[in-house]
Amino acid sequence: MTECYAHTGSDLDDASTWQTLSEHANEVARRAEAFAEKFGMGLWGRTLGLLHDAGKASAGFRKRLEGGKPVDHSTAGAKIAVDRYGAGGWFMAYALIGHHGGAPNGKVWSECSRSQSAFLRTPLKNRLESEIESYDAFFELMETGEIDLPDIVQLGAPMRPGRTFESTARKAFSVFVLEHFLYSSLVDSDYLDTERFMTPEASEAREARELANMEELLAKLESHMADLMEKAGDTPVNRARRSVYEDCLATAVQPSGLYTMTVPTGGGKTLSSMAFGLRHAVEQGMERVIVAIPYTSIVEQTAATLKAIFGAENVVEHHSNYDFHDLDDEEKAKQRLAIQNWDAPIVVTTNVQLFESLFSNKPGKSRKVHNMARSVVILDEAQTLPDELLKPSLAMLEELSAGYGSSIVLCTATQPALEGLWPFGAEPREIVQRRDSFDEAFGERVAYESLGTIEQADLVERIAAHHEVLCVVGTRGLARAVYDDVVARAAERGDLSDVKRAFDEGYFHLSAFMIPAHRSAMLERIRKRLDRKERCVVVSTQLVEAGVDVDFPEVYRELAGLDSVVQAAGRCNREGRLPGAGTVRVFELSINGERQKTETWLEKMKGIARDVIRENGGKVEEGLIPAFFKTRYDSECLDAKGIFQKTATRDLIFDRFETMPFEQCALDYRIIEDDSVPVFVPWGAEGRALLKELLASKNPAGMAMCLQRFSVGVPIWSIEGYKQADAVEELEPFLILKEDGCRSFYREDVGLVAVGEEVLELLSC
């Protein structure tokens, strides 16, 4: 029998150094079985592992290993699965065919009647019906016992044993999610075994990590909280925070499920929710705590806080846009291996990473999904979930809890009105029961004032006159424009001597056009100036709102959704130290007396907020939040892309799993619609050192996590301009802002500037 191989070894001319197909298949099967066993589907995971590379048992693939042209090695396993397991094989085919390039759509009904059995041709159907090179050698491996597939009776149905469903819709959605978790188990196992063989030093380093368990992490947090409380003064705010923390520990002993945690801004949600998560994980035998946050800036701050308590090795921070799913050639395997799989006890990430991974059909994004089973998932600022994706998002959270042993915590200051919106009827439990201390601590902390519609010049004049003030506006462009005008006005007033380094004199700009490391440095400057009562004037986008620990006596907030207004208010008199209330002024901007209108989601939120405020006599109050959410969710389509409709349908089951829309759902489930491309900016000494290391690296993609803090998302439509200006260079898979580009296009005060602005800067010198 001719030996079959999965990967070449250290010597391309010596097959004795190569990895055999049998070894690889069995190692992947072993890992996938262990991963899938967490949700009761271990044998399915094992079977996928054994079949995934069946096409490598061909003469064509052997030639590929010797330098020949690429061959299809993913389809053979799917063909075997369909022949051997029938409907169950169709269920497996998505993962098997898609374990490199992405899980495809299944059959799609045409507009003809269903009785005509008319399907549109799709990649899955085409692949299963395609002629591929003989893989008879795989059957020889089965005959010798090197590959031991279960029979159809042993395998059973693709459903978690013993689980019952109250509706066909829920059963169908459960099947859709199960495919994602099995797919994840397979691709992560494949990556890990490939890493073990190709880069054993990386695999050994992974295995050698000394990660703390949940009990040890809980002890660290309890010790930290005891120190904090001992040092904290006996103020109403600190008493309220202690009460929240104690409620979190008390409620954590309850069974797994869906929870809400409603705490006013400044109430200590970050550490108290982590206390719930860790104790709950200990009580329920869960493996990790995942904190999902809407904004990258808060990910940075939260991760830094948690790393200081638990140690950096125990916390994974993942918010990068870098995506390696297209790098599926054998030569680029090392780059694919760098993708994180969230194998850590604490993960801090974005809503984008969490939810888009759960709905993704790509191996890079999907790799982490199986590690969401048996986890506590804390959704910070849950109201930021996009309305048009709310229904499938809530359904996914329900399924994570019901099918995968996870607990979900919706944690926010302004709990959205989700009652009656859960697709499968969930009724989350509130964690914080004692709320008497909230009125004293937070009730009189801020006073709202509505300015109505004002000119930008009026806003600038007001802001420039303040000693300490935060102004939050809705877009990056507006933030930059207002900041530039404030700096110019401050210079006219004689309050500022160097407009290019206005931050040295207390004038700051914050937006996503600044890399995370730069924003963090600016926030540290801001905090120090506030502590010293020095001039501190900040113009920012909403990234400063949720969870960013700054405390201003005055806040200006451009009208937005009322939840956003309340979040901005959380940066005002945060510690309750002012003798009276802090002031939050809500405004809309006009040009020549006309309020600006755009057909955007932000404008819709403004409209709802405007109506709710008008009905309240023009007064802005936090008590309007329930009315805002009721109107918001009544007026929006909560499944605008039809994702829930397509995945919670009886057809998924009754069509023998042949019509699953994996690729379509992945394309449709986009939290951020406007695509951006990450560009690495070698800013400062650390950035330059990273660039030097990157250019010398044999495995550049292995540095992806390090580069997150020095990368900025650039709209894809504007990348070409930077290329034409010779400002960026490519080092696959990265784009890098060149040294000359950094001098011309990246400013210390505002971050990345548009093509064209750099000329103005030079002319102004």
Average pLDDT over residues 420-441: 85
Average pLDDT over residues 155-174: 86
Per the document, the length of the chain is 765
Q: How far is CA 401 from CA 182, 315, 394, 669, in A?
A: 17, 23, 11, 20
Show the tokens assigned to 607: 């409209």
CB of 321 closer than 8 Å to CB of 719: no
Residues 422 and 449 in one domain: no
Show the tokens assigned to 624: 């309007």
Q: How far is CA 345 from CA 218, 289, 348, 655, in A?
A: 11, 6, 10, 39
Q: How far is CA 282 from CA 216, 253, 332, 627, 693, in A?
A: 10, 9, 40, 38, 40
* Nearest CA-CA partner of 271 in 359, 380, 163: 380
Lowest mean pLDDT among 53-57, 441-445, 603-607: 441-445
Q: Is residue 741 included in any domain, yes or no?
A: yes
- Residue linked to tokens 């209330």: 581
Residues 142 and 229 in one domain: no
Q: Is residue 478 included in any domain, yes or no?
A: yes
Going by C-beta distance under 8 Å and a sequence separation of 6 or more, which residues neighbour residue 178? 39, 41, 158, 159, 160, 403
Q: Is residue 641 included in any domain, yes or no?
A: no
pLDDT band per the 50, 70, 90 thresholds, residue 331: very low
Beta strands in 182-274 (DSSP E): 258-262
Average pLDDT over residues 558-574: 90
Lowest mean pLDDT among 107-111, 234-238, 276-280, 411-415: 107-111
Question: What's the pLDDT at 202?
Answer: 75
Residue 746, domain extent:
676-763
pTM, to two decimals: 0.87
Average pLDDT taken over every residue of the chain: 86
Q: Assess whether the previous peptide bond of 733 is cis (omega < 30° from 0).
A: yes
Residues 518 and 559 in one domain: yes
Residues 663 and 703 in one domain: no
Residues 371 and 406 in one domain: yes
Average pLDDT over residues 720-729: 89
Q: Is residue 373 included in any domain, yes or no?
A: yes
CATH number of the structural domain spanning residue 55? 1.10.3210
pLDDT band per the 50, 70, 90 thresholds, residue 339: very low
Average pLDDT over residues 176-183: 96
CA distance 747 to 511: 13
- Phi/psi for 507 (5° steps) reads -115, 120
Q: Is residue 205 included in any domain, yes or no?
A: no
Question: What's the pLDDT at 535?
Answer: 96
Tens of pLDDT along 515-528? 988 998 999 999 99
CA distance 92 to 46: 11
Question: What's the pLDDT at 404?
Answer: 95
Question: What's the pLDDT at 247?
Answer: 95
CATH number of the structural domain spanning residue 483? 3.40.50.300
Question: What's the pLDDT at 636?
Answer: 64
Question: What's the pLDDT at 441?
Answer: 67
Q: Is residue 58 included in any domain, yes or no?
A: yes
Average pLDDT over residues 153-171: 85
pLDDT band per the 50, 70, 90 thresholds, residue 591: low
Q: Is residue 439 included in any domain, yes or no?
A: no
Question: What's the pLDDT at 278?
Answer: 98
Residues 282 and 154 in one domain: no
Residues 422 and 541 in one domain: no
Residue 610 has pLDDT above 50, yes or no: yes
Residues 650 and 719 in one domain: no
CA distance 140 to 143: 5
Residue 250 has pLDDT above 60, yes or no: yes
pLDDT band per the 50, 70, 90 thresholds, residue 386: confident
Number of structural domains in the chain: 4
CA distance 717 to 209: 41
Q: Is residue 209 included in any domain, yes or no?
A: no
Show the tokens assigned to 324: 């390696």
Query: Which one of 411, 434, 457 terminates a domain?
Result: 434
3-state secondary structure 439-487: HHHHHCCEEEEEEEEEEHHHHHHHHHCCCEEEEECCCHHHHHHHHHHHH
CA distance 545 to 548: 6
The helix (run of H) or strand (run of E) holding residue 604 is helix 601-615
Question: What's the pLDDT at 326?
Answer: 44
Residue 764 has pLDDT above 60, yes or no: no
Question: What's the pLDDT at 478?
Answer: 93
Going by C-beta distance under 8 Å and a sequence separation of 6 or more, which residues neighbour residue 573? 445, 446, 551, 552, 553, 581, 582
Query: Which one of 406, 434, 462 terminates a domain?
Result: 434
Residues 260 and 405 in one domain: yes
Average pLDDT over residues 331-335: 39
Residue 248 has pLDDT above 70, yes or no: yes
Tens of pLDDT along 634-692? 866 899 999 999 998 877 666 678 778 899 999 999 987 656 788 999 998 899 998 99
* Nearest CA-CA partner of 88 in 156, 178, 175, 163: 156
- Phi/psi for 35 (5° steps) reads -65, -45
Question: What's the pLDDT at 22?
Answer: 93
Residues 242 and 355 in one domain: yes
Residues 262 and 282 in one domain: yes
CA distance 62 to 311: 46
Going by C-beta distance under 8 Å and a sequence separation of 6 or more, which residues neighbour residue 125? 106, 107, 119
Name the percent of the chain lying above pLDDT 90: 48
Going by C-beta distance under 8 Å and a sequence separation of 6 or more, which residues neighbour residue 603? 597
Residues 501 and 454 in one domain: yes
Query: Which one of 635, 656, 691 terminates a domain?
Result: 635
Tens of pLDDT along 47-56? 999 999 999 9
Going by C-beta distance under 8 Å and a sequence separation of 6 or more, which residues neighbour residue 489? 460, 461, 464
Q: Is 67 helix (H, G, I), strand (E, B) or coil?
A: coil
